[in-house]
Amino acid sequence: MRRFARFYGANPLHLLAVLFTFALAGYAVAVVGPQNLWNQDVWWKSIAVWFLGAVIAHDLVLFPLYALADRSLTSGLNALRGRRTSRPQSVSALNYIRVPALASGLTLLLFLPGIIEQGADAYLAATGLTQEPFLDRWLLLTATFFAVSAVAYAARLALSRKDGDTVSGS
């Protein structure tokens, strides 16, 4: 097992998961049909082009941006901890900021067309409603994510102080 992990670089279950993911993707392409992934009339409306664009946008633009944001958050929290030498930090706040920020970003990505009122006429015709509440609802959802995270952090901090143990890590 160690020999395999040293050769492959991870646990065999990781390899199994990767192979399963590729098999699932291959099955999806086989069911949909490769010809349906490419639009002969308008090339930029092809699923393959949008998928490739999403991969490039994520790997070359978004990943460096949120890696930089995470590095800045980690550095900022470490700097704050360095100033507070009177009492040690027992619970790291890092994941209590990361998780709601990720959830907020994903819901923004999901609801962005509604927030910027893209396709407002089609939405109005299909539902009889306007897209005005999308921004307010997304902001409320984001505030809720951070509020729930803050309550969870406060509860965890209180429990760790009551127990007297220190929890390390992020």
**How does pLDDT run across 22-63, given as a tens digit for each residue?**
999 999 999 988 888 888 888 877 888 888 888 899 889 988
Give the pLDDT confidence of 146-158 residue by residue, as tens digits: 999 999 999 999 9
- Looking at the structure, tell me whether residues 48 and 104 fall in a common domain: no
- Looking at the structure, tell me whether residues 77 and 102 fall in a common domain: no
* Within-domain flag for 119: no
Domain enclosing residue 160, as ranges:
98-112+133-169
pTM of the model: 0.60
Residue written as token pair 């407002």: 120
Q: How many domains does the chain have?
A: 2
Q: How many CB atoms lie within 10 A of CB 165?
A: 11
- Looking at the structure, tell me whether residues 59 and 102 fall in a common domain: no
Query: In this model, does residue 73 exceed pLDDT 90?
Result: no
Whole-number Å distance between alpha carbons of 16 and 22? 10
- Looking at the structure, tell me whether residues 76 and 35 fall in a common domain: yes
* Nearest by Cα to 135 from 164, 120, 113, 157: 113
CA distances from 74 to 93, 95, 98 (A): 9, 10, 10
CB 54 within 8 A of CB 64: no
* Within-domain flag for 149: yes
CB 95 within 8 A of CB 169: no
